[in-house]
Chains A and B, each alone.
Chain A
Amino acid sequence: MSRDVWAGVAATVAVAVVVILGFRVLGGPASQRLVQADLRTVRTLSELARQINQRWTTGGKTLPENLDKFHIAVKQDPVSGRAFVYHAKSNEEYELCATFATDDRDAHATAPTDRWLHPKGEFCFPFQASEQVPFVPYSY
Chain B
Amino acid sequence: MNKAIQEFLDAAKRQGASDESLVALLRGRGWPEDDVYRALADHFENQSGVRVPAYKRSGSAKDAFLYLLSFSMLATWTIGLGSVMFTLIDRWIQDPLSPANNYYAGGYYQIAGSLACIIVAFPIYLLTMRVILREVGLHPEKLESPVRKWLTYIALLIAAGVVVGDLITFLTYFLRGELTARFVAKTSVGLVLAGGVFWYYLGSLQKGAAATRKADE
Contact = CB atoms under 8 A, between A and B. Distances in A.
Interface string B62-103: 000000000000000100010011011011001110100111
Interface residues of B, number: 37
B153 interface: no
A137 B118 CA distance: 27
A12 interface: yes
B53 interface: no
A136 B210 CA distance: 61
A11 B196 contact: yes
Nearest to B88: A21
A4 B115 CA distance: 24
A43 B125 CA distance: 41
Contacts of B203: 3
Per CB-CB distance, the 5 closest pairs between chain A and chain B, nearest first, are A140-B106, A108-B105, A111-B105, A107-B106, A110-B101
Interface in A7-32: 7-8, 10-12, 14-15, 18-19, 21-23, 25-26, 32
For A18, A32, A104, which residue has the most chain B Cβ atoms within 10 angstroms?
A: A18
Contacts of B88: 21-22, 25
A35 B107 CA distance: 12
A110 B108 contact: no
Dominant SS among interface residues on chain A = helix
Interface of A: 1, 3-4, 7-8, 10-12, 14-15, 18-19, 21-23, 25-26, 32, 35, 104, 107-114, 137-140
Given A25-B88, A137-B102, 6 more contacts: A15-B81, A19-B119, A32-B112, A110-B101, A138-B104, A140-B106
16 contacts: A8-B129, A11-B196, A15-B118, A18-B85, A19-B118, A21-B84, A21-B88, A26-B108, A35-B106, A108-B105, A110-B90, A110-B98, A111-B105, A114-B102, A139-B108, A140-B105
Contact of A25 (B91, B95, B102, B119): B91
A106 B137 CA distance: 52
Given A109-B94, A137-B103, A32 B81 contact: no
Interface of B: 77, 81, 84-85, 87-88, 90-91, 94-96, 98, 101-109, 111-112, 114-115, 118-119, 122, 126, 129, 133, 137, 196, 200, 203-204, 207
Contacts of A14: 81
A92 to B, nearest CB: 27
Contacts of A1: 133, 137
B136 to A, nearest CB: 9
A140 B104 contact: yes
A6 to B, nearest CB: 10
A111 B95 CA distance: 9
A139 B104 contact: yes
For B81, B98, B129, B133, which residue has the most chain A Cβ atoms within 10 angstroms?
A: B81
Contacts of B85: 18
Nearest to B132: A4
Given A7-B200, A26-B112, A111-B102, A18 B81 contact: yes
